[in-house]
Amino acid sequence: MFTEEDSDDSSTLLESNDPLYDDVADHNDDAWLKEKLKLVELRSGRQTDAVLSCPMCFVVFTFDCQRHAYYKNQFRAMFVEETCQVVIDQILKCIPEKDQNVVEEQVLHPVRCRQCGVEVAVYDQDEVYHFFNVIHESPYA
């Protein structure tokens, strides 16, 4: 027969036996992310708008990006992780619309996830990545 104390012990046991729960790993992951975000703030002088990840395999592409003013699912970044691969030998030409004041056509390269190959961004002549097909999460939420 169980007393109240016995049932408390068994719930603690169940939690510690969960193979997917690791208190130490959880704490280390959190500390690692905070350190990464602190470095971004030092370099950029601001907080990132999001952490961007691959929609297929979930690897992280950048910890330092700015959300597009109008298109809320688009982000620009200059500093990315090695999980992104610019396809230099493939060129996408962006021809400006007539009502825009831009005269020159933009030369862009597609950017793929290095791990799974899905296309996630374009890379422009100013060395800026424009992400559009990504999972975005605020690390400060």
Which residues in the 108-137 window bind Zn ion by CB under 5 A? Answer: 113, 115-116
- Rg of the chain over Cα atoms, rounded to whole angstroms, equals 22
Count CA atoms closer than 13 A to 21's CA, side-chain side. 8
Shortest gap between Cβ of 45 and Zn ion (angstroms)?
30
Q: Between 6 and 35, how does the x/- string for binding to Zn ion read (CB under 5 A)?
A: ------------------------------
Closest alpha carbon to 119 in 128, 129, 110, 130: 110
- 108, 94 contact by CB (below 8 A): yes
Point out which span in 25-33, 50-58, 102-110, 125-133 binds Zn ion (CB under 5 A).
50-58
Residues that bind Zn ion (CB under 5 A): 54, 56-57, 113, 115-116
